[in-house]
Amino acid sequence: MAGAPAASMHGPSAPPANMFDTVPGYEGTVAGGGGGYLPPPMPSVPMPVPEQAPSPDWHIPSISEDRARQAFSTYVSSKCCYSSAPVREGVITNMESFNTYRYRLETFMESRSTEWSQEPYAGQPVDAGVQPAPGPWQIAAQPPAFFQEHKQTIKVPYTSSVKNCHLCLGMGRNPCTTCAGAGNKVCWVCNGSGYRHSDDRCTHCNGRGRENCSSCSGSGSCQCDTCRGKRQLLVFINLNVKWSIEKDDFLAQDSSGLKVEKLEEVSGKELYKDAQYMVYPVRGFPDASVAQASERLVRDHQVKYAQTSRILQQRQTIELIPITKVNYMWKGKPNVYYVYGNEFKVNADDYPATCCCSVM
């Protein structure tokens, strides 16, 4: 595009802006990208109707003492500096169930950007000006299955034209950088004198003091890397299509004392799942903080992503993550560990029997 700043393209030098024609609908396109994502057309699909979320009376009972001991034993055996004595000798005094909810919103979307590109001209079709180029969102692209990330690059029809290579000025060759175009350089054996020892003529350069440049075989020039010796370039607009997933989680607060970040490592029991073009915030869920988080995140995703991307599908889920707080006595002192998630992970920050080789 004339007048647009030319960014770096493939090759050692960015082409001048006047190499690019003005293409209606692509005025912001620059070389090398950087023009930002293009706003999509207004959606034609109607907004979803609000649904009442289920109100299950879920309560996962505290796990059995045997299950708690087994998880504790597996955890301790994985720690090289932990003694197993508290597992063998500890007496469980109390087990409490603390369950928490995790709400997750995923938005699967398609974004499009354009950039001027180039390749050596070797007879490819030239179609610029034959007819108007289709708009960036009018070009068909094959999307992957929902919630699978993917990228695709498409050459925009009716934007291809031929230009002389800007780097070699249409010559197909550039001065050799090794010998500065001379075709030869100082002989490294005799250092340019033509002799090795006193009157012994240098056999490497036959007494000339110079040798042919190996990079250009003595010609003084090398094939242009940009046009690969073709002298001309096909310049065209590339449409870059990207399918991506944006995800946000919300964890309802619990009173167990377990650090919230620990729950990011585990899965829970799925209570609710809703997937459609655009989801509506969850209504009627027993934990008000989850409903509030759903309303906030759904709004945030639609405001943040709908401006630059086309939302193809959204998915929201609610999981119940089980947490069991285990109180036990060992050597007359009370201790605590947690068993959490479907994976029965264990957290025991203040384990009472670490060996002296424990890493500080």
Per-residue model confidence as pLDDT tens digits over 53-95: 555 555 566 689 999 999 999 999 998 889 999 999 999 999 9
Band (pLDDT 50/70/90 cuts) for residue 8 is very low
Task: State the pLDDT at residue 4.
Answer: 36
CA angle at residue 20 from 16 to 23, to 5 degrees? 155
Do you know the residue count of the chain?
Answer: 360
Above 90 in pLDDT, residue 223?
Answer: yes
Q: Is the pTM of this model over 0.95?
A: no
Q: Which residue has the higher pLDDT, 20 or 158?
A: 158
Give the residue-averaged pLDDT of 295-312.
93
Say which residues have a Cβ less than 8 Å from residue 243's Cβ, sequence separation at least 6.
108, 109, 110, 143, 144, 148, 149, 150, 151, 312
Band (pLDDT 50/70/90 cuts) for residue 6 is very low
Task: State the pLDDT at residue 56.
Answer: 55
Residue pair 165/231 in contact (Cβ under 8 Å)? The answer is yes
DSSP letter (8 states) at residue 4: S
Q: How far apart are CA 113 and CA 34, in angstroms?
A: 9
Say which range, 2-16, 84-98, 275-289, has the weakest mean pLDDT.
Answer: 2-16
Above 50 in pLDDT, residue 7?
Answer: no
Q: Count other Cβ atoms within 10 Å, centred on residue 338.
A: 23
Band (pLDDT 50/70/90 cuts) for residue 261 is confident
Task: State the pLDDT at residue 35.
Answer: 63
Band (pLDDT 50/70/90 cuts) for residue 196 is confident
- Token match 């405001």: residue? 303
Task: State the pLDDT at residue 122.
Answer: 95
Instruction: Using the CB atoms, write b or e for 68-77: b if 16+ within 10 Å.
Output: bbebbeebbe
Q: H/E element holding 70?
A: helix 65-77
Give the residue-averaged pLDDT of 288-294.
93
Above 90 in pLDDT, residue 315?
Answer: yes
